[in-house]
């Protein structure tokens, strides 16, 4: 049975890729409709994340030319995860099923057929997983792998090599909307939603044009966010380190006392200096980790909206008010 699909695409300064992306989407959506997987009133929702180039103007033009395209304009740049959530929350209640993907054509559109087939088989969430990462640089590939391993070691339920190319049913979107955290890491939240899920493998290609909006600094911040939003193990690690150091300090005390008794006390300037620096460093590091979590609590308690929608372009005259939290 055909279902109403909404493809959600966050766009930040994507004027170089949008013409090609939209062209391919028109074709893809027509194909899917012909195959009987989606209904004719399915839509592509382009979320403009406060772009500084002509992205929003282009979205307006696309919408005017073809009602297939809808546009959401955020009031400012809020980052990939918030923009994606804004799109998904707009899609919630307006479709049977949503698929999120990037604007840059890195996610193979032909995987959408398989996503939808899995949905028909009863899955509420389908994760797109990259087959291989040979289009990424060596550095990005290795750091990403390290990140996934670390997440697993910290006990976080995360799908290896899954970015945000994902199918979510309306039911899963409803459940997602009930998770109210401000520190967003959507690929970790989807497994929390639960329901029947599956993975679809696809080849990730290179960015069609333009450059990555994820420089190393943002990637690192994203990784730290991911870890501290889903695991308190680093805090426990600090306790363990503290415990070990305490035991070592007891031994040191014993050693110092024995040295004093046997009369060799003045020596040992090097070891004193070294231990002061070591302990100081470890303490600062631990305080930093604790600070990360306190910062998270601080942000969550403010309960600020995760995104603000300025406009919602659609052919039904829906107003832009959607679930913000
Ligand atoms: N993006 C966004 N807001 C941002 C940064 C990125 O909406 O602040 C969008 C971007 O337009 C793209 C997607 O997020 O559709 C993924 O970004 P990108 O392709 O640059 O990341 P990479 O694939 O290099 O990890
Ligand atoms: Mg990309």
Beta bridge partners of 309: 74
Backbone angles phi, psi at 242, to 5 degrees: -60, -40
Please tell me if the CB atom of residue 8 comes closer than 6 angstroms to any atom of ligand 1: no
| Shortest-distance atom of ligand 1 to CA 79 | 8
Please tell me if the CB atom of residue 216 comes closer than 6 angstroms to any atom of ligand 1: no
| Shortest-distance atom of ligand 1 to CA 103 | 15
Structure tokens at 82: 């918030």
The rounded distance, in Å, linking the Cα atoms of 266 and 258 is 13
Please tell me if the CB atom of residue 7 comes closer than 6 angstroms to any atom of ligand 1: no
Please tell me if the CB atom of residue 49 comes closer than 6 angstroms to any atom of ligand 1: yes
Q: Which of 7, 19, 4, 9 is nearest to 210 (CA)?
A: 19
191-208: pLDDT as tens digits: 888 888 888 888 877 777
Report yes or no: 195 and 172 within 8 Å, Cβ to Cβ: yes
Structure tokens at 123: 């899955």
DSSP category for residue 93: T
Please tell me if the CB atom of residue 102 comes closer than 6 angstroms to any atom of ligand 1: yes
Place of tokens 């390290």: 146
Ligand number nearest CA of 13 is 1
- Our CA dihedral for 141, 23, 124, 196, rounded to 10 degrees, sits at -40
- H helix or E strand, kind and range, residue 144: helix 138-153
* Candidate of 7, 10, 225 to mutate for ligand 1, largest count of ligand atoms within 8 Å of Cβ: 10
Which pLDDT value is given to residue 122?
92
Ligand 1 center–CA 102 separation, angstroms: 7
Tens-digit pLDDT string for the chain (325 aa): 889 999 999 999 999 999 999 999 999 999 999 999 999 999 999 999 999 999 999 999 999 999 999 999 998 999 999 999 999 999 999 999 999 999 988 888 999 999 999 999 999 999 999 887 677 778 878 888 888 888 888 888 888 888 899 999 999 999 999 888 888 888 888 888 888 888 888 887 777 777 777 777 888 888 888 888 888 888 888 888 888 888 888 888 888 888 888 877 676 777 787 788 888 888 888 888 888 888 888 888 888 888 888 889 888 877 765 555 5
Close Cβ partners of 284 (under 8 Å, ≥ 6 residues apart) = none
Burial environment of residue 260 by CB neighbours within 10 A (0 to 12, 13 to 18, 19 or more): exposed
- Our CA dihedral for 189, 193, 198, 204, rounded to 10 degrees, sits at -20
Strand 43-48 relative to strand 69-74: parallel, antiparallel, unpaired?
Answer: parallel
Please tell me if the CB atom of residue 104 comes closer than 6 angstroms to any atom of ligand 1: yes
- H helix or E strand, kind and range, residue 71: strand 69-74
Q: Which of 3, 319, 304 is nearest to 170 (CA)?
A: 3
Structure tokens at 111: 């995987």
Residue 59 has a CB neighbour count (10 Å cut-off) of 27
Q: Output the CA torsion sign for 90, 95, 97, 100.
A: negative
Residue 238 has a CB neighbour count (10 Å cut-off) of 17
Please tell me if the CB atom of residue 130 comes closer than 6 angstroms to any atom of ligand 1: no
The rounded distance, in Å, linking the Cα atoms of 100 and 8 is 5
């Amino acid at each position: 049975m055909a279902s109403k699909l909404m493809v959600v695409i966050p766009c930040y300064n994507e004027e170089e890729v949008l013409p090609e992306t939209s062209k391919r989407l028109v074709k893809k959506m027509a194909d899917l409709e012909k195959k009987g997987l989606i209904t004719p009133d399915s839509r592509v929702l382009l979320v403009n994340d406060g772009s500084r180039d002509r992205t929003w103007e282009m979205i307006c033009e696309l919408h005017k030319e073809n009602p297939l395209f809808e546009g959401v304009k955020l009031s400012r740049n809020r980052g990939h995860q918030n923009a994606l959530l804004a799109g998904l929350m707009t899609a919630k209640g307006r479709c049977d099923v949503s698929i999120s993907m990037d604007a840059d054509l890195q996610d193979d559109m032909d995987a959408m057929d398989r996503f939808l087939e899995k949905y028909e088989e009863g899955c509420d969430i389908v994760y797109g997983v990259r087959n291989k990462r040979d289009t990424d640089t060596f550095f990005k590939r290795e750091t990403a792998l390290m990140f996934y391993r670390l997440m697993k070691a910290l006990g976080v339920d995360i799908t290896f090599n899954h970015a945000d190319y994902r199918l979510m049913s309306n039911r899963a979107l409803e459940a997602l909307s009930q998770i109210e955290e401000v520190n967003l890491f959507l690929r970790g939240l989807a497994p929390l939603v639960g329901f029947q899920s599956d993975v679809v493998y696809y080849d990730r290609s290179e960015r069609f044009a333009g450059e990555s909006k994820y420089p190393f600094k943002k990637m690192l911040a994203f990784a730290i966010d991911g870890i501290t939003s889903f695991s308190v193990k680093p805090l426990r690690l600090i306790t363990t380190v503290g415990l070990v150091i305490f035991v070592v300090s007891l031994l040191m005390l014993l050693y110092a006392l024995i040295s004093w008794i046997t009369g060799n006390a003045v020596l040992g300037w090097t070891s004193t200096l070294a231990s002061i620096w070591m302990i100081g460093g470890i303490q600062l590091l631990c305080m930093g980790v604790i600070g990360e979590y306190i910062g998270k609590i601080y942000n969550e308690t403010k309960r600020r909206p995760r995104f603000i929608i300025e406009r919602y372009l659609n052919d039904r005259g829906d107003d832009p008010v959607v679930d913000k939290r």
